[in-house]
């Protein structure tokens, strides 16, 4: 605390990112990074961009990346916004799409167990919000969001649970807001959609001007270190994001990042193969955990949310870390006994399974049914 902070800074409760350990001997399964390297085309593109042109500012419009996104998702470049990671894109979207409390706005809605940056953004921009409880099995009931509000944020799949909604359910929510609440945005955060089954909503932005989808290259494209995210929506929504961006920094995505991102988006075949390996490993590990009496939430992301039959969450976290395996523990209500485990390589996940606590006959709860 400093006497020089203004009241906004004093009131903030900042997001706490997952640990990035200096100890390289740890098996790092705590921040949902892709365990496989980027496409070789990405590295080649970055090398080509690392030349004399670095003395010049990058393209503020990120034209090459926007064109690559448009081709990949079947939209127009005018429907694409590119930013410095999806966290920045989300922050700009909150600022551009949702009203602050000074305008007596209705609260926006998002799940009570979800990506913990959402309440931070809302607090920063003074946007009123109401967390909507997930149900007992941690799934989201779409009907709970069909009510007057300032807008909706839905991560699909949700984090940290990994549970997903169908495109049909989300499309019904988009139509509800379009027909009953003029000017209200439905934001779908698709950070993990590439690891699910037919989840992507971007194609629907052509017919629904109130839908904004947010994406990242950190997970599905193995580029967490490059920091590139993007949004897809109606050109009017995209212009709103541009107005916010240009009120902060017109050059948020550097030349190397733009070159690498464009190359990644153009190499869909490479990443499809990589991500199917992650999905196969996820299935194998989930089954192995269930066979040992662990509670495993059905996941369509590149991680699993699990609960030990014999240890509390913090005890389980410490047990694994002491054995060189770093996972994520959340202290929030209802999930404090769970750990989120990112899916690593087959070798890493075999080591994870090998180092689990010895099996016991005691099991808290059972397995959840398949997700939607």
What is the domain extent for residue 284?
A: 7-36+269-354
Query: In this structure, are 18 and 118 located in the same domain?
Result: no
Residues 170 and 231 in one domain: yes
Do 118 and 193 sit in the same domain of this protein? yes
DSSP bridge pairs for 65: none
Q: 202, 234, 267 — which closes off a domain?
A: 267
345 and 283 in a common domain? yes
Residues 136 and 254 in one domain: yes
Q: What span, in angstroms and rounded, lies between the C-alpha atoms of 234 and 68?
A: 17
292 and 235 belong to one structural domain: no
User: Do 119 and 160 belong to one domain?
Assistant: yes
211 pLDDT higher than 80: yes
Same domain, 189 and 317: no
The verdict on residue 369 lying in a domain is no
pLDDT digits (tens, 9 = 90+) for 232-274: 999 999 999 999 999 999 999 999 999 999 999 999 999 999 9
The answer to the question of residue 366 being in a domain is no
Pick the last residue of a domain from 217, 234, 267.
267
Higher-confidence position of 103 and 82: 82
What is the pLDDT, as a whole number, of residue 361? 44
> Would you say residue 367 lies in a domain?
no
What's the CATH code of the domain at 342? 3.90.1150.10
Report percent pLDDT > 90 for the chain: 87
pLDDT digits (tens, 9 = 90+) for 268-327: 999 999 999 999 999 999 999 999 999 999 999 999 999 999 999 999 999 999 999 999
Q: Provide the number of structural domains found in the chain.
A: 2
- 238's enclosing H/E stretch is helix 235-245
Tens of pLDDT along 25-80?
A: 789 999 999 999 999 999 999 999 999 999 999 999 999 999 999 999 999 999 99
* φ, ψ of residue 189 in degrees (nearest 5): -90, 110
CATH code of residue 62? 3.40.640.10
Q: Which residues contact 239 (CB under 8 A, 6 or more apart)?
A: none
- Output the pLDDT for position 359: 67
51 plus 74 within the same structural domain = yes
Same-domain status, 85 and 197 = yes
110 plus 12 within the same structural domain: no
Neighbour-count burial of 138, counting CB atoms closer than 10 A to its CB (0-12 exposed, 13-18 middle, 19+ buried): buried
Average pLDDT of the chain to the nearest whole number: 94
Full-model pTM = 0.93
At residue 362, the pLDDT reads 43
In a shared domain, residues 213 and 305:
no
């Amino acid at each position: 605390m400093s006497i020089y902070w203004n009241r906004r800074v004093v009131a903030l409760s900042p997001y706490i990112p997952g640990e990035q350990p200096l100890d390289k001997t740890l098996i790092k399964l705590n921040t949902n990074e892709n365990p496989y390297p980027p496409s070789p085309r990405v590295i080649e593109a970055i090398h080509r961009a690392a030349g004399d042109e670095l003395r010049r500012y990058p393209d503020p419009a990120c034209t090459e990346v926007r064109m690559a996104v448009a081709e990949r998702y079947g939209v127009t470049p005018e429907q694409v916004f590119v930013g410095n990671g999806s966290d920045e894109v989300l922050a700009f979207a909150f600022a551009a799409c949702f009203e602050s409390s000074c305008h007596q706005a209705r609260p926006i809605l998002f799940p009570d167990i979800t990506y913990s940056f959402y309440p931070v953004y809302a607090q920063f921009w003074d946007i009123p919000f109401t967390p909507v409880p997930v149900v007992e099995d941690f799934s989201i009931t779409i009907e709970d969001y069909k009510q007057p509000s300032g807008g909706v944020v839905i991560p699909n799949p949700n984090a940290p649970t990994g549970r997903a909604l169908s495109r049909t359910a989300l499309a019904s929510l988009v139509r509800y807001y379009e027909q009953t609440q003029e000017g209200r945005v439905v934001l779908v955060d698709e950070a993990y959609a590439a690891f699910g089954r037919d989840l992507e909503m971007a194609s629907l932005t052509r017919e629904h001007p109130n839908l904004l989808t947010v994406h990242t290259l950190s997970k599905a494209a193995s580029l967490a270190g490059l920091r590139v995210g993007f949004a897809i929506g109606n050109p009017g929504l995209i212009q709103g994001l541009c107005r916010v961006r240009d009120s902060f920094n017109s050059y948020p995505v550097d030349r190397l990042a733009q070159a690498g991102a464009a190359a990644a988006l153009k190499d869909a075949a490479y990443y499809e193969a990589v991500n199917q390996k992650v999905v196969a490993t996820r299935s194998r590990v989930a089954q192995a955990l269930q066979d040992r009496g662990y509670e495993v939430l059905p996941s369509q992301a590149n991680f699993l949310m699990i609960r030990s039959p014999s240890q509390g969450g913090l005890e389980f976290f410490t047990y694994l870390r002491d054995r060189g395996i770093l996972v994520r523990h959340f202290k929030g209500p209802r999930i404090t006994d769970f750990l989120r485990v990112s899916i690593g390589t087959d070798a890493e996940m075999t080591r994870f399974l090998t180092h689990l606590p010895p099996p016991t006959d005691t099991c808290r709860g059972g397995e959840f049914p398949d997700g939607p």
